[in-house]
Amino acid sequence: MVKPIKTTCPYCGVGCGVLASVDKQGVLSVQGDPDHPANFGRLCSKGSALAETVDHQGRMLHPSIDNKTVDWSTAIHHVAQRLQKIIDEHGRDAVAFYVSGQLLTEDYYVTNKLMKGYIGSANIDTNSRLCMSSPVAAHKRAFGSDTVPCCYEDLERAKLLVLAGSNTAWCHPVLFQRIVTAKKHNPDLTIVVIDPRLTATCDIADLHLPLRPGSDAILFNGLLNYLHQNNETNTFYINQCVDGVDEALASAAASTVSTTVVAEACQLDEALVAEFYRLFARTERVVTVFSQGVNQSSSGTDKVNAIINCHLLTGRIGRPGMGPFSFTGQPNAMGGREVGGLANQLAAHMAIENAQHRDTVKRFWQSPVIAEKEGLKAVDLFAAVGRGEIKALWIMGTNPVVSMPDADSVREALKACEMVVVSDCMQETDTTLLADVLLPAQTWAEKDGMVTNSERRISRQRSSLSAPGDARPDWWIVCQVAQAMGFNDGFSYASAAEIFREHAALSGFENNGQRDFDISVLSTLNDAAYADFQPLQWPLFIDNQSKEITGTPRMFSEGRFFTRNGRAQLIAITPRLPEVSTDETFPLILNTGRVRDQWHTMTRTGKAPHLSEHSPEPFVSIHPSDAARYSVVDGALARVFSRRGEVIVRARVCDTQQTGSVFVPMHWNDQFSSAGRVDALVNPLVDPISGQPEFKQTPVRLSPYQPVWHGFLLSRRKLNMHDIAYWVKATGKDFYRYELAGEQAAQDWSDWSREMLCQSQHDISWVEYLDEATQRYRGVRLVGDRVESCIFIAPTHQLPPRSWLSGLFERQALSEQERASLLSGQPGAGIKDSGAIVCACGNVGLNTITDAIRDQGLNSVEALGDALKAGTNCGSCVPELRVLLKQFQ
Ligand code: SF4
């Protein structure tokens, strides 16, 4: 085993350091980097399973045009010529790029440079528009710059943590673990969770405010009003550093006269509101964390400013343990902001609407043109594609047919587009299937470059494995196309390091302290120093004493902001509830979001057996009273309709969901399910300032889905599901799991199964059982002594658990007892079934945990950890362990 390579996790904005080790056989293993300041050795379930995602199965290996493999030169020249022809005939705004927070900073930099400085259009937007463009807009309104003031250490130094619209436990799990540890060490740390749902994050909450969906600005306006009325205004700070106070207070007072009014508007118990306000008022060291629950809204920018207002009014910003803190969704959302990857930005935190900034960037790049006006933001960009105004679209490292709101319209737009180019690491995604040109990109473990996490910390992502086939770095692909378009001078980079040095130099070009983003001290970094770069938080400077390059953990500590007069701005907020409300036809509100063990559209996490067990199927969470009203049964299938489409998902009836709203995860797509692509239902409404879509407020209705038969199938081979009405695929260890349902029963289930599982092998044997009266069928297909596949069919969704049968796929040979138990789907007497996986890291199942609680008398999470190792790695399952412990108290 060679020395581990220090790299960074490619999933969420926490930006955890990873040690990647490759053994002599080329097999990769990972562990958390104990020296990385984001995670100090921790990894969540997704990070821990990275090694399960690096195989080459399903990878895009070669460029192709119209499904025909071509060489790189042909592909590059084809894309360059088509782009140029469309620009010549229809103008530069007839082409667009849609990029991704998965790109590394160097990839992002050259793509933005090509579009804004050489093609001369700002029609480049990123999928980060979907997750954090509202905080960007709000930061700029309040601070004059897109600056995140806090650092992770503030979470540990705070005395009050407010987690608003953030299921931190599942979406930023390592930060959640840091908070859990901080609370253990400091029992005085108070945690308030503001979320309509009772999420896993509430496990550590001292106070949970299950507010009416979309009413956050009312709650924080009310807080501003309360702070003012109770003389908690920091007058000294306001006088020195803040403008706009009177207007903001007047707006807050007009909309939230008292806690009673706030409580009524937010549908909260008044005592909860009063307690939250008291806690905030009396605690100096308070951090307010916010994420998608606040951002993904048609008034997301106002909501973020309502939060920032409370920190500015009290001067609780720029000091340890305090400030408003946006947790970004993606690994390099922050890097994308640095290079100006959004359609309304220029590079290096300069503003596209600022003529001086445009001139600065153009002179620095020595580019032929510069985009004169902001480009189309994601939702408008795809609408323009649909109208035929954009005739060529290059999508990089993202899957908008799954992730955009009104996703079916996006699909139709791509079908109609003259040229769709997709660079991706995977061959078959819902988006690549619509591409005219496919360009194979390198993926995590192969790429080299920089990423920036939620606390402005720049880290290296380093290559540990060689890339398969013709896969290339994104920056290389973009530069090749740029050169083929005739832009040789601006794109003749020899390495990612060279691009990074230019990016760093631009950040300091004619800056003179006017712009927050300045890493110009890295512009002379040589290749060896780039290779060895250690994580640092921008802005960077040379420390006078040590002469070392030094970062800035906390911003605004001197009360100076990046507005024209250097003062922060309170923004007058008039709260707006969601634009679309429910009615008799669509009486429920759909909220979308993440599950614990999946990432985005599953192109990578969907490959990992450990990550597919916790939530193997898309689902709808629904309160018991709503379930009863709409005849939806726990564990059965349900249809969720909006005005735009329909999904069929498994019902989870639970009182963690408020009445009147339902939750469906965002990850499933047509490669993993027949009808789970939930963003097809979502309204394409956006925040008017930031353009961020409202993913959490779509009116829907529910009804039971009543197929004629239900079933599941486990198979060592991937199978074709095209004729099955309902199917979901999950990756197991050495097998695939398919959940099935159909609207027509087979004439003969035995024939049907044989046809489904057909393969010309000689040493096959079948074990079968059919009860014709009840239409129950069970069949197991054996090759030699091993299970090759099994299929279970029944008229209801009540079927044997999958866990024991799944484990049989790891066996080289079945025992007699296992053979005898096959058709029951359950182990025989004396053999344990570990049950559905709860702890993905330790592979610990539900039955193992409940047996240990019951039989060994284990009564704490720590005891379960000692005995079973459950909850001892990433800790994401700890809230579930606590629920199980409670059931046995
Ligand atoms: Fe990766 Fe998990 Fe860390 Fe996020 S919290 S960066 S997903 S290991």
Which residues lie closer than 8 Å to 720 by C-beta, 6 or more apart?
none
Quote the pLDDT of residue 834.
86
Residue 863 class from Cβ within 10 Å (0-12 exposed, 13-18 middle, 19+ buried)? middle
C-alpha 759/C-alpha 756 separation (Å) is 9
201 Cα: distance to centroid of ligand 1 (angstroms): 16
C-alpha 223/C-alpha 859 separation (Å) is 40
Q: Is the pLDDT of residue 177 over 60?
A: yes
Cβ distance 48 to 614 under 8 Å?
A: no
Minimum-distance ligand 1 atom for the alpha carbon of 9: 1
Cβ distance 699 to 582 under 8 Å?
A: yes
- Residues paired with residue 739 on neighbouring β-strands, in sequence order: 712, 728
Q: Whose CA is nearest to atom 2 of ligand 1?
A: 44
Q: What is the mean pLDDT of residues 765-775?
A: 90
Quote the pLDDT of residue 1.
57
Using pLDDT thresholds of 50, 70 and 90, give the confidence band for residue 836.
confident
Using pLDDT thresholds of 50, 70 and 90, give the confidence band for residue 337.
very high
Using pLDDT thresholds of 50, 70 and 90, give the confidence band for residue 794.
very high
* Fold (topology level) of 837-887: Arc Repressor Mutant, subunit A (1.10.10)
Quote the pLDDT of residue 431.
98
Q: Is the pLDDT of residue 722 over 80?
A: no
847 DSSP assignment: H
* Fold (topology level) of 64-126+332-453+457-486+495-550: Rossmann fold (3.40.50)
The verdict on the CB of residue 12 being under 6 Å from ligand 1 is: yes
> How is the chain split into domains, by residue range?
64-126+332-453+457-486+495-550, 132-326, 588-704, 709-824, 837-887
Cβ distance 93 to 373 under 8 Å?
A: no
Query: Can 64-126+332-453+457-486+495-550 and 837-887 be said to share one CATH topology?
Result: no
CA dihedral 597, 599, 604, 608 (to 10 degrees): 0
- The pair of structure tokens assigned to 734 is 């050495």
Bond prior to 320 in cis (omega within 30° of 0)? no
The verdict on the CB of residue 171 being under 6 Å from ligand 1 is: no
879 Cα: distance to centroid of ligand 1 (angstroms): 18
Which residues lie closer than 8 Å to 120 by C-beta, 6 or more apart?
92, 368, 369, 370, 371, 372
C-alpha 879/C-alpha 170 separation (Å) is 10
The verdict on the CB of residue 390 being under 6 Å from ligand 1 is: no
Query: Which of 176-190, 725-739, 873-887 is least confident?
Result: 873-887
Quote the pLDDT of residue 329.
83
C-alpha 194/C-alpha 506 separation (Å) is 40
Find the distance separating the first CA and the last CA of the chain, reported in whole Å: 47
**5-8 and 17-22: which strand pairing?**
antiparallel
Minimum-distance ligand 1 atom for the alpha carbon of 599: 7
Q: Whose CA is nearest to atom 4 of ligand 1?
A: 12
132-326 homologous superfamily: Dimethylsulfoxide Reductase, domain 2 (3.40.228.10)
Q: Is the pLDDT of residue 451 over 90?
A: yes
Quote the pLDDT of residue 318.
97
Radius of gyration of the chain (CA): 27
With b for 16 or more beta-carbon neighbours within 10 A and e for fewer, the 621-643 pattern comes to: bbbeebbeebebeeebbbbbbbe
Quote the pLDDT of residue 399.
97
Report, at the CATH architecture level, how domain 588-704 is classified: Beta Barrel (2.40)
* Pocket perturbation via mutation, ligand 1, pick of 7, 8, 14, 599 by most ligand atoms within 8 A of CB: 14
C-alpha 325/C-alpha 454 separation (Å) is 9
533 DSSP assignment: P
Q: What is the mean pLDDT of residues 621-627?
A: 98
Q: What is the mean pLDDT of residues 859-864?
A: 91
The verdict on the CB of residue 47 being under 6 Å from ligand 1 is: yes
Percent of the chain exceeding pLDDT 70 equals: 99
Could you read off the pLDDT of 414-436 as tens digits, one per residue? 999 999 999 999 999 999 999 99
Q: Is the pLDDT of residue 776 over 80?
A: yes
Minimum-distance ligand 1 atom for the alpha carbon of 44: 2
Quote the pLDDT of residue 828.
81
803 Cα: distance to centroid of ligand 1 (angstroms): 27
Q: Is the pLDDT of residue 540 over 70?
A: yes
Quote the pLDDT of residue 256.
83
∠ CA(398), CA(16), CA(843), 5° rounding? 90
